[in-house]
Each structure stands twice: as structure tokens, then as C-alpha cells.
Amino acid sequence: MQLPEQISPEQMVSFRAMSGSRRLRLAEQLYWSARRMKTEGLRSQHPDWSPERVREEVRRLFSNART
């Protein structure tokens, strides 16, 4: 398995030592953090958009996202 450049071997050991529920909570926190960053980015790029338009675009982008 090839590790992404951002993850050190020490971090990988730490992640593997976490319980499944802890990893799930961490993944959820990262997901919501990414949504907040995308929301703020869209607000910055499109100051004329309504809050609803921004929410709809974030929803659309995340529902169509692929890894």
C-alpha cells in the first residue's frame, strides 16, 4: 500500500491504533470541515449568491464527489 505524501509512518501507526469508532468520528469531522471550507470558498468566489444557492451548490458538489 502506498501512503499519501502527507501521512507520515508515525501518523499511520497512530491511526491504526485508534478504535474504529474513533476513526469514524475523525472521518466525520474531516467531512464537515471540508464542507465548511467549500462553503466559505464559494461565498468568497460568489458574493452575489444567496445563502440557499451556496448550500445547494455545496450539496451538489459533495453528492457528485468521487475519490
Structural domain that includes position 47: 38-67
Q: What is the pLDDT of residue 2?
A: 58
Q: Is residue 58 within 8 Å of residue 38, measured between CB atoms?
A: yes
Q: How many CB atoms lie within 10 A of CB 37?
A: 11
Query: Is 47 a domain residue?
Result: yes
Query: Is 12 a domain residue?
Result: no
Q: How many helices (H) and strands (E) does the chain have?
A: 3, 0
Query: Is 27 a domain residue?
Result: no
Inform me whether the pLDDT recorded for 56 exceeds 60. yes
Q: What is the pLDDT of residue 7?
A: 84
Query: Is 4 a domain residue?
Result: no
pLDDT digits (tens, 9 = 90+) for 13-54: 998 999 999 999 999 999 999 999 999 999 999 999 999 999
Query: Is 60 a domain residue?
Result: yes
Query: Is 7 a domain residue?
Result: no
For residues 14 and 39, what is the distance between their CA atoms, to the nearest angstrom? 30
For residues 29 and 1, what is the distance between their CA atoms, to the nearest angstrom? 25
> How many domains is the chain built from?
1
